[in-house]
Chain A
Amino acid sequence: METHSPLERLLRGIALTLVCLFFMFPIVWIVLMSFQTNETILRVPPSVVFMPTLENYTALITGRLETAAGTLNIDFMGNLWNSLFLSTTSVAIGLLLGVPAAYAFARLKFRGSEDIAFTLLSFRFAPPLLVLLPLTIYFQQLGLANTYGGLIWVYQLIVLPLILWIVRGYFEDIPADIEYAYRIAGHDFWSTFRRIALPLAGPGIAAAGLLSFIFAWNNFVFALVLASADKQPVTVGALAFVTASGIQYGQVAAGIVLSIAPTFALALYAQRYLVEGLSLGAVKG
């Protein structure tokens, strides 16, 4: 066991507090803001003492935004639902396509496998704006603009490379002989994939799924251009809070709290997998 002097412990405590403050302060501040009216938020100097109000949340949930310029109808809950639906479906499809592909890239040697894998990765290199204009035109001609299907398709550009490359590394880390041992004991290729490779790569798959969910959830620009109001996720929907009578900080804050809640909960639940999954080489033979 390591032993520490009291001074060392004190310094360590201060350092940890500073780090926590640095990372947690914005989140705490947003949560505080979400329980305040625009007036208390904007007062100078700012204060942490205020009368909490739920009106921001009520406005979001009922969809009626009261501003100085009048009542505005917003569809925040619709946006939240869109985010949830788009991200979940995209990640599900991404996993369905990406995990077997990652396995193939890791295990099977075929002509051009490296080139194909790299091409898929390179989707992540291109700035989204570069492909948006041609995509918009194609989508309009194909009738995919402003459809969930179209958006989910485009979201594959985000989730598929991520899943493919993280999970591939995982499959490569599993000694092939474990799978051979299973196959020679009387199992076919498919059941070996299901019963040996998938469970052993489990943490990696969970991490890849979680990360790609967060990336999909946070996407802004694809949804902004390719979807209109009724299909838009929260990231785009939040623009509605920038109204004629100013920015509704209270509602923006409440919106942020609501929209980070699902990913936050998911990350908390799966943080064990996330850490395990991203520290490659965690699987031992």
Chain B
Amino acid sequence: MTDGADAPPVIILKGVTMSNIYKSRKYVILFLAPAFLFLIVYLYYPFFVNIYGSFRQIKNLGSYGTRWNDPLLENYIKLFTDPVVFTSLKNTFFMIIATIFGQVGIALVLSLLVDNIERGTQFFRTVYFFPIVISATALGLLFNLIFLYDKGMLNQFLELFGKADLTDWKGEKLAIFTMVLPVVWQYVGFYFVILETGLNNISQELYESAAIDGATRLQRVFYISIPLLRNVICTCMTLGVTGALKVFDLPWTMFPKGMPLKETFLTGTYMYYQTMEAKNVDYGSTLAILIVVLGVIISKVTRSVFRESEDI
């Protein structure tokens, strides 16, 4: 181990310069060890232990249980027979669809509109983005007040327009809609900023020459903006879909324990419910594995559907 004193001179590789000062193995280990220790101890190791835990019988959080499940695959069999798993999968898919059309869709429309104005761009950017900065828990409480049956902001507002009866936003019929809406609302600004940055990267000359050729504003949007934005839109879709699987705070604050009647569980909130509320920790582990498998499948599908094109 030398500190580069007698290492070979600088090697030039396809434009990449590998300097002779960075050879010391001592520093590699010193610099990498802390971060990788964290990754291994807090991510890789627990991930595998979690699989082990799904076969054990664990009553209390904080132990690995005393014996194996009997039958060993008990939890996995339960996954297929538990009607709430089906409900939470259904809701999660609904969340994904809402993410694609709601978050990215609205963001795309708004960013295309903002691209057409000169004044106030910065203002809209600031205002649209800020719900993301606020904790979803606080927003959950806020939306609880807004959707209150007797009578929150929305019901009072509808009353102003002469609607006589109150709408039960959190009742069985509308619960899913009421749960998804704030999540969509919160993240529109995030995708808006990404898409708007993408639009700003499109050269003005393209629009100008299209205008000279007689293209209308709408034609310019469909034949220039959207095609050139394709890759950015794909990135947003991928981010949105994977993000939809991680949603927890807002639904849990607004609809704790899957109320009403366990109708509003998402895969994540159901995993938490089984682990912390129902004290079925090993089943919670199994649900976590379901989330991982779901995540892998969905991101594979998304990547192939929204594949970024190389030729732009």
- Same complex for A and B? Answer no
